[in-house]
Amino acid sequence: MDTNWMIYLQSQNQLAKVMETNRTTEKWGLVLNEQEAKLILEERAHALRQERRVEFGPGIAEKVIYEFCNSDFINQENYVDTIIRLQEIFYLYKNEMQDEITDDELLHLMKEQFENLCYGDLDYLEGTCLDNFAQAIRAGYEGHKKTDGYGQYAAFDQEKRWDYELYYETLKELCWG
């Protein structure tokens, strides 16, 4: 009985902390109601079970919310689903990177790629960017430790990107002959 009481208090504490994020996120038009916050925490627990991870303390939900709340690609309509998916991706890549990267380093890396390379595409973040970086981490790369995870992906980016000058020249040819 004592264990159930302790679990209940812990879950209420986590719920209160997730609800408290509204104070910050409302600046960007993002607000969670209690049901949505509970769903995020339930899905966090599911993701932990799925990835066979144990988490002590408040969990990653709050950190994900704070890290991503000012994203250009998150709005009220996709907010809950995006946070849930980001949690799943986070736990997957904590395992894939064999815990050789801190929570903050991984979150910074995820946010930077989500904004600047993936343009909000969670599949691309998960299937390409983080996969490439995880391979580097498993191979012994440690550069992320010096920068807290910022500015590290470019060294492992294998995808061809568009060239502004080439794009502009092609556009000129198409529009102005």
Query: What does the domain layout of the chain look like in residue ranges?
Result: 1-90, 97-177
Q: What is the mean pLDDT of the chain?
A: 83
Q: Band of the pLDDT at 115, cuts 50, 70, 90?
A: very high
* Mean pLDDT, residues 52-72: 88
List CB contacts of 110: < 8 A, sequence separation 6 or more: 67, 86, 89, 90, 93, 125, 130
Look at residue 47 and tell me whether its pLDDT is greater than 80.
yes
Look at residue 45 and tell me whether its pLDDT is greater than 70.
yes
What are the pLDDT digits (tens) for 3-17? Answer: 565 455 556 678 888
Q: Band of the pLDDT at 163, cuts 50, 70, 90?
A: low
* Mean pLDDT, residues 97-101: 89
* Contact (CB, 8 A) for 62 and 70: no
Q: Which residue has the higher pLDDT, 18 or 165?
A: 18
- In the prediction, which pLDDT does 153 show? 60
CB-based burial, 101-120: b 16+ in 10 Å, e otherwise? bebebbbbbbbbbbeebbee
Q: Which of these, 75, 72, 78, 62, lies nearest to 24 by C-alpha position?
A: 62
CA distance 85 to 80: 9
- What does the radius of gyration of the chain's CA atoms come to, in whole angstroms? 19
- In the prediction, which pLDDT does 37 show? 94
* Contact (CB, 8 A) for 90 and 107: yes
CA distance 104 to 150: 10
Look at residue 114 and tell me whether its pLDDT is greater than 70.
yes
